[in-house]
Amino acid sequence: MKREPITPNKIAALVAESLTDDLRRPPWRGSPNPLAGHCYVASEAAWHLLGAASSRWRPTFVKHRGISHWYLKNKDNGEILDITAGQFDKAPEYSAGIGKGFLTKTPSKRAAVLIKKIRG
């Protein structure tokens, strides 16, 4: 049986369904919104699952309502992969996003936990 390719949207869905409160930092820990406070770790984990620096995806952030919001942007076609966009009632202004690297070259502790949950 032929396996379906793992698409960026499939990875985003796997990441989103694996987010748990223990992966959030204050002040978002305990938030009733299941996506709030997860943008950095979700984007970081997805980026590593997509191939990290060898992928066509770039970590990007934008200030949204005064707070940094992280997502991935495709270098080739500008496609946005924003795993936690559903936390907002109004989409961030992605055109104002700034491409930036994550704080660590390898997955951070939180991203490693998330990746382990996804890979089983």
pLDDT digits (tens, 9 = 90+) for 9-38: 999 999 999 999 999 999 999 999 999 999
pTM (2 d.p.): 0.94
Average pLDDT of the residues of the chain: 95
Residue 23 lies in a domain: yes
Range of the domain at 14: 8-119
Amino acid, single-letter form, for residue 27: P
CA 116 to chain centre: 15
Residue 54 lies in a domain: yes
Question: For position 120, what pLDDT does the model report?
Answer: 86
Residue 56 lies in a domain: yes
Low-confidence ranges of the chain (pLDDT < 50): none
Question: For position 2, what pLDDT does the model report?
Answer: 61
Residue 1 lies in a domain: no
Number of domains making up the chain: 1
Residue 19 lies in a domain: yes
Question: For position 4, what pLDDT does the model report?
Answer: 65
Within 8 A by CB and 6+ apart from 39, the residues are 69, 70, 71, 82, 83, 84
Question: For position 3, what pLDDT does the model report?
Answer: 63
Residue 113 lies in a domain: yes
Residue 2 lies in a domain: no
Residue 102 lies in a domain: yes
Question: For position 6, what pLDDT does the model report?
Answer: 83
Burial state string for 17-38 with b = 16 or more CB within 10 A and e = fewer than 16: ebbeeebbeeebeeeeebbbbb
